[in-house]
Amino acid sequence: KELTSVRLLNSLQYPDGPCDIALVKIPKHLSLLEDQLYRMRRSLHPDTHIIGAGMARHIHTSTLDLFERIVGPTRTSLARKKARLIFCQPNPAIDPGDSPYPTYYTFENTAYRLANQAGLFSREKLDNGTRLLLEHIPRSDRKQTIIDLGCGNGVIGMVATERNPAAAVTFVDESFLAVASAEENFRAVFSDGRWAAFRTIDCLNGIPSGSADLILTNPPFHRDRAVGDAVAWQMFSEAGSVLKPGGTLMVVGNRHLGYHAKLKRLFGNCRTMSTDTKFVVLESVR
């Protein structure tokens, strides 16, 4: 039978209530689970059945404490095939207060107060890899198109915007929470009407070929709990198509990941711009 009442929500939206059954896949980041429970809570009633699921090794006391504090009494099942269920009963008397998200930190050596929604990479402070990349973002007065790929809270694209006053900058991430953070931060800093685009897409899907002069990225080397370079490889491959002839891809990553070999294979060239004990900044030209 065809379903006619399915509604898909992004991670910024609140489900309509009341809800009789709530199923929760336990995410990697506790902050993301906390945010989900706050968003879900308004749709619960005392008889709602809440069932969480995850691998037993990923369900900790801190996980259960979130359910207890935000929703109500919580218990777990026995482990089966290394997985475990969480059962939670809503308690309307609980008042967990307001959601703590987004959180904020001050971008070092500036007055910028950066918003960070739940689940963002390095949401409490600037990470060292990004810090190294920021040192090498070029300055120019010419008109160009710049893409912050996997933008997170948008700090890379914001620095590129500041150093390239005539550029059109696009912020891209697969996470609605990340793109919302980047847009909030951009609007707060560039209140003078500077133009930017914000896209929630898979890598560069839908971005026209040959449209970008510069792509900047600090690619993830994991997706959820799976570690690997599949996402980075996809980013690099699609960047090769989206860049204009002569356009540049600038990448920062952990040295041990061997991105230089992948970039040289895809672009035919790769230059090391900077390196420290852990990270390396690489540049490839289409």
Q: Where are the domains of the chain?
A: 19-88, 103-285
Q: How many angstroms separate the CA atoms of 256 and 176, rounded? A: 30
In this prediction, residue 1 carries a pLDDT of 57
In this prediction, residue 118 carries a pLDDT of 95
In this prediction, residue 159 carries a pLDDT of 96
- Which structure tokens are listed for 270? 């790769």
Q: Which residues of the chain have pLDDT under 50?
A: none
CB atoms within 10 A of CB 221: 15
DSSP 128: H
In this prediction, residue 16 carries a pLDDT of 83
Compute the mean pLDDT over every residue in the chain, rounded to the nearest whole number.
93
Q: Which CATH number fits domain 103-285: 3.30.1360.70, 3.40.50.150, 3.20.190.10, 3.40.50.720?
A: 3.40.50.150
Q: 259-267 vs 230-242: helix axis angle to the nearest 10?
A: 30
In this prediction, residue 186 carries a pLDDT of 96
What is Dmax (Cα atoms) for the chain? Answer: 63
Q: Do domains 19-88 and 103-285 have the same CATH topology?
A: yes
**Domain 19-88 falls under CATH 3.40.50.2300:** no
